Amino acid sequence: MGALDRTTVMHAADLTADLVACPEVAASWDRESTCVGMSVGGLARHLGGQPVTVVSLLPAADSQAGKGETIELLEHYARAAWLTEDLDGEANRSIRDSADRQAADGPAGAVSWMAEARGKLESVLADPPPTTYVPWQGWALKTDDFLVTRLMEMVVHADDLAASVDVRPPDFGSAVLDPVFRLLTSLAVRRHGQDALVRTLTRPQRAPATVSPFEPPRVRTAGVTGRPDPAGRHSRP
């Protein structure tokens, strides 16, 4: 996906930490979030886990060198089980259950966890390894590609969390959003095709019901606008 300004990871981590620390999240901690089947607290922990994963995996690269093949970013998503399963698939259940278990530490635990990771980010990103092994997948990515996956997770799940507690999502800015939008656009084209994306962006009267890279193609039927659930709920964690 091209060279990445790695300071964007720190900026995104700061914004997501502020969101997780807001009082509206604490007040709704045990309520279901917009990610169906996941609590607000579980979603906050899943969001907070993105910078934590960066500071955990990048320093471990030397000990994991040569473990698993290094694949391209789009192939990473083509192979990922959570993207091809339905809501009740094993990978998606595991993500939800793990996050909700971690949420038992409460809001203060999540805030402290993220602050500890943020304190390590700058040094970890200063001299990163060329590749990063992703242990839950069994393969490696170029480190900048791996960091783009974490940025995407932070942007998407920050919006999920903000919608869950009715606050504005963070304004990440173009430095964070540009690589995320390049990734999401590429995934959408791969899943739905060129015509679907062009029509959605420029000719809504001919557009399909969705071009989400995380949802299968759906044909817009007569009289159906394809509007989302009014509560903004969705199934992907």
Edge-first strand order for the sheet with 70-71 is: 70-71, 139-142, 131-134
- Tokens at residue 220, please? 């817009």
| Single pTM value for the model | 0.89
| Distance, CA of 170 to CA of 22 (rounded, Å) | 12
Q: Which CATH superfamily is domain 7-171 in?
A: dinb family like domain (1.20.120.450)
Mean pLDDT computed over every residue of the chain: 89
CA atoms within 13 A on the CB side of 29: 18
* Strand 139-142 relative to strand 131-134, pairing: antiparallel
Give the pLDDT of residue 220. 64
DSSP summary character for residue 213:
T
Give the pLDDT of residue 2. 58
Give the pLDDT of residue 91. 79
| Distance, CA of 165 to CA of 172 (rounded, Å) | 19
Q: How far is CA 35 from CA 100, 137, 212, 234, in A?
A: 12, 22, 15, 5
Give the pLDDT of residue 109. 96
Give 72-109 pLDDT, tens digit per residue: 999 999 998 877 777 777 777 888 888 989 899 999 99
Cβ atoms 48, 139 nearer than 8 A:
no
Cβ atoms 161, 7 nearer than 8 A:
no
* Strand 70-71 relative to strand 139-142, pairing: parallel
Taking residues 29-46, report their average pLDDT.
95
Q: Taking the chain, what is the end-to-end CA distance rounded to the nearest angstrom?
A: 24
Give 114-132 pLDDT, tens digit per residue: 999 999 999 999 999 999 9
